[in-house]
Structures are given as structure tokens and as C-alpha cells.
Structure 1
């Protein structure tokens, strides 16, 4: 029997049970459920963590009413996916009482920092931007350590982001509304392999 590519292999409830089990058993993996497929991403390395720290500090200084959360999101309106972005910019109280997988409606920006694993291309550069656009997240920031560039996706149309800007590390990046924050990316050069 062949699996049909556009049908989920698991229900979202089944994924959540597997994710809870994996979270207890394997501290080096973070489970996700995107486009009906169970996936895992490795726990971030030190440079990855430092990049999130840097971005958190900038966001707090520029927009103190917001927080860069570590929050799982329900994404994809069609297949009820579950993604764990590296950062989720939203009002500070946006996820109070939400549980592990929250609705994405309060999210202003989803952040991903590429990992050094074989699945990062499909996961971080293809599937997640699409899922975030489908969920209506206004801005998706991808910090691509392989390409040494920042990619800013904006203007979701419910299927994809209509605008994407690629900016090399070392230049200033203006994150569009509703985020409205400027990043000086020079420091990112020091946190790549």
C-alpha cells in the first residue's frame, strides 16, 4: 500500500501523543508535524542559541510590549500541523493558558535559524515558510547560517509570502510591519561555522 502524498500519515492528536513521549525520552530532538508528516529537528547548538539571545534582546529594546516566545504553534489550516519555531514574536501575554501548541493568530513574526542537519533545506526553507504563510503570520524571519544571509518573508496571501528579501550578513535589515524593528546583522558573521 502506497501512502498518498497529500494526506496526513498521522492525525494531529496522534502526533501530540508521540511528541509528548519523545519530549520525555529524547532531549536532543524536537518533534514537529508539518504537512501531515512527523519530523524532528535537532536541539539547537550554542551559536544557534546565541542568535536567538541576540534577537530577543533587540526585540525587547525596540518593542518592550512584545516577547520572543519559545512556543509551539498550530499551523496549516488544511492539515492541522504543529511547528516549533525557534522564536515567536507576539505580545507578552499572548500564550497564557495556551498549552504546548497555540493558535498562531497573535503571532507577528515566526523566526527560524538554520541548523546544520540534512533536513534543514526542506524544513526551514520550504515547508515552514509555506505553513507560516498559510497560517497568516505576517512576517517570517529566516536566519540562514549556511548562506550567511537573512531572509525576510512578508505579505502572506494564505498560500505563500508575496514578498521575500535576501540580505547578506553584515547589512541592516528592516523587518516590515507589524514588526517594525531594524536589525544590524554584522554580529551574525561570528556565529556561523
Structure 2
């Protein structure tokens, strides 16, 4: 039996809309989650990845903090650190966009006690359930980059992990290669 959500998704959206700027909320697995405000190293990693994506795939954009509707069965709402999609994919959309056309979501781990469950499990599973082709996790605590691909029945069937400093191949439909040596500067 699936647990009931804490509130209807409409109530969550109103709560998120009225929250102070210093608080970013998500609705993951039927529960309200507070997303930590990123530190400078977190921001640098997101900008590094944005540059890599634009250099290798200039027709795509890495949209930071784009609200996405995820987990169809629980009406989830997530704000990935990055959503890679074709240019202008989100034009005319509201705060919470349909994930159709998103090629990859990105999360960079934060310094909080909830990052293990949130970034490594719940959000990963939500992105897989939504059939987002690639989930990229930059794990500062473990100093690794993990590429999740081949979503099927709410799970990613292929998971490849490489240490910071290694070359990371992100397969189609993304089709880029990351040289991750620079990430060592931002490890915990």
C-alpha cells in the first residue's frame, strides 16, 4: 500500500509559491522537503557542468533549479540542480514544468543530513519513474560522478560511477564526455 501524501499537490504548490526566497521547497515521495541553499563550491560545479554542456551540445541548455513535475503516481515536484533540455524547452511554462523533453537531470550533493536519501535515492527514483533518460549525480562527499541511464519501471537499469579526475562518458541522448579533474577542487 502506498502511503498517502502529506497534502494535495495544489496545496504544496501554493506553499512553495509563498515561501520566502531563502527557502526552496520540493514535494518528493508525497512529502514536503526543504532543499538547502547551495554553497559556492556547489554553484561552481553547476557552472562547470553548464559550460561543458554548452561547449559540446550548443543546441541544448542546462537550466538551473527548473521546477519539474516528477513521480506521476505521487504528483511530485522537484528542483534539480540542472535540467538539460533543448533550447527554449521551458518557454511559456509555469513554475512546475512537464519533464517531457528533458534529457538529463543533475544533482550535486549538499552538506546536510538529508542528502543521502534525497539525492541518492528519492530524487533518482522520481526521475526514473518520469522516464528522464539520464540522471547525473555529482557526489562531493564520496568524490564520484554517477551516471544513471536506461530508466525502466521506475528504476535506472544502468549505473556507472567514476572517481573525480576520471573521464565520464554520458551516453545518448546526451552524448557528452566530462573530464572531471577540476571537480577535485570542490571535494569535501
Smaller-chain TM-score range? over 0.9
1:86–1:113: 8 Å Cα contact kept in structure 2?
Answer: yes
Residue equivalent to 2:118: 123
Q: Is the 8 A contact 1:135 1:158 kept in 2?
A: no
Alpha-carbon distance in structure 2 between the residues aligned to 1:45 and 1:37: 24
3-state SS in 2 of match to 1:101: coil
* Aligned length, in residue pairs: 187
TM-score where L is the length of structure 2: 0.97
User: Could you tell me how far apart the structure 2 residues matched to 1:29 and 1:142 are?
Assistant: 22
Counterpart position of 2:79? 84
After superposition, give the CA deviation of every residue in 1:156-177 in whole Å (9 maximum; x if it has no partner). 0031000101110000000011
CA RMSD of aligned residues (A): 1.0
2:146 pairs with 146, 151, 158, which one? 151
Q: What is the rounded CA distance, in whole Å, between the counterparts of 1:158 and 1:41 in structure 2?
A: 26
Once residues 23 and 32 of structure 2 are traced to their aligned partners in structure 1, the CA distance between those partners, rounded to angstroms, is 12
Gaps of 5+ in 1: none
Task: Name the counterpart of 2:161.
Answer: 166
Cross-structure match for 1:12: 9
- Please list the CA deviations of residues 81-124 of structure 1 after superposition, one character each: whole Å capped at 9, or x if unmatched: 00000000000110001111000111000000000001000100
Map Cα deviations across residues 128-173 of structure 1 (whole Å, 9 max, x no partner).
0000000000000000000000010000003100010111000000
Q: TM-score, normalised by structure 1?
A: 0.95
Q: What is the SS of the residue equivalent to 2:116?
A: helix
SS class of match (1:67): strand
Structure 2: 5+ residue stretches without partners:
none
Give distance in 1, aligned partners of 2:96 and 2:12.
11
Runs of 4+ residues deviating >3 angstroms: none
Map 1:82-121 → 2, pairs under 5 A: 82-121=77-116
**Residues 28 and 42 in structure 1, CA contact (< 8 A), matched pair in contact too:** no
SS at match of 2:77: strand
> d(CA) in 2 for partners of 1:91 and 1:10?
33
